[in-house]
Structure 1
Amino acid sequence: MPAHILQEISGSCSTTTTTITAPPSGEQQNGGEKLEKNPHHWGADVRPEIKDDLYDPSYQDEEGPPPKLEYVWRNIILMALLHLGALYGITLVPSCRVYTWIFAYLYYVISALGITAGAHRLWSHRTYKARLPLRLFLILANTMAFQNDVYEWARDHRAHHKFSETHADPHNSRRGFFFSHVGWLLVRKHPAVKEKGGKLDMSDLKAEKLVMFQRR
């Protein structure tokens, strides 16, 4: 085979290696235009404020019988009256005016947002950031829901995630269906809940004036 043909074949089979270097920290050039650094790029933590809602597999329940249930009769009476009032309210539905329907629906939606978007997603897990007007709306909506204050709600929920299905979980499902949905609100907290919940890092909520004002 002629030498010039061999040269062309060997040249076409050669391997080209391209080295890609990361842009310098803070900015990069693209045709002379500076691109703003993305703070969440390259695996950066998108929730730097909180770590204590993450599951801790190292925690295990201590052996031995569970402590005796201590009933909180004030909560039991209030919960009973709440449900009796709801049953009585059903009898009034046919005679209520349209404005009552609208008020009830709006109250339900707004108070639910105070729990779901407020106490849960914003203050328990810090899944998004909110400016003062939204935080003020959510704290008022949460107050309307009558589910304790944001600080206590978030502390219990973080303990639930960190120590899930143990005695340190405020509504441990291993203690039964009724307990995990309603019963835990009617009895004193397990000593493990108080111990572990008291050690959680709640500094982010302690630094938020709206949350601490509501807790008063």
Structure 2
Amino acid sequence: MTKIFTKWIPIVEYANRESYLNEVQKQVDIISDRFVGLFFLLGICLAPIYSTWFFTWITMGCTCMLYLIVRLILEEGRLSRTLIAVVYAIFLLQFIGQLHGMAEMHFFYFTNAALLIIYQDWRMQVVYSFLGIGHHTFLAIIQWKYGTDLGDYFIGYGDITFFRLFFHFGIALLMSFICGFWAYLIQEIYITITTKTKTDNLV
């Protein structure tokens, strides 16, 4: 079990949890780089389906610029991890918009939430879920109030009802809670292993 949690992070003493999370981020950012690259390529592949090139380039341009700022300018920390969660949320919403609200594109909510676990920071799930649910809520309110058909940009199947959104958001929040819990649990397990290893070395 110890090998699983010490594969990337060396067993050392950390001043506090933030310094530990920063070290984790240094090690796993390279994994995130690969997935962001894959998302970029996927966005290009999806654009021709409904000729959403303008929407795609604007969205991906902003997303990739934000990610480059995180990776090349900002240091590891809570702010940079928050922005990484924002990047993953925008990619999710981009894919949904590219395929006009197709149900299957919403599954990216689950894959992206799972990917964020590697940072072991449960707070990233809060940001991620807030943006995803906030986006859908905002568009639903606009559609209900003004009668504008915005289904292509969030839910393109069936009527947009409170009943549908209740379950839509409820399941999404449950997934984020589970992923946040696992991120925290892995963090606790590793810190416990680190503490035990340090104690054993003193004996």
TM-score, length basis structure 2: 0.27
User: Which protein shows a greater Rg?
Assistant: 1
> Which structure has more RCO (C-alpha within 8 Å, separation ≥ 6)?
2
TM-score, length basis structure 1: 0.26
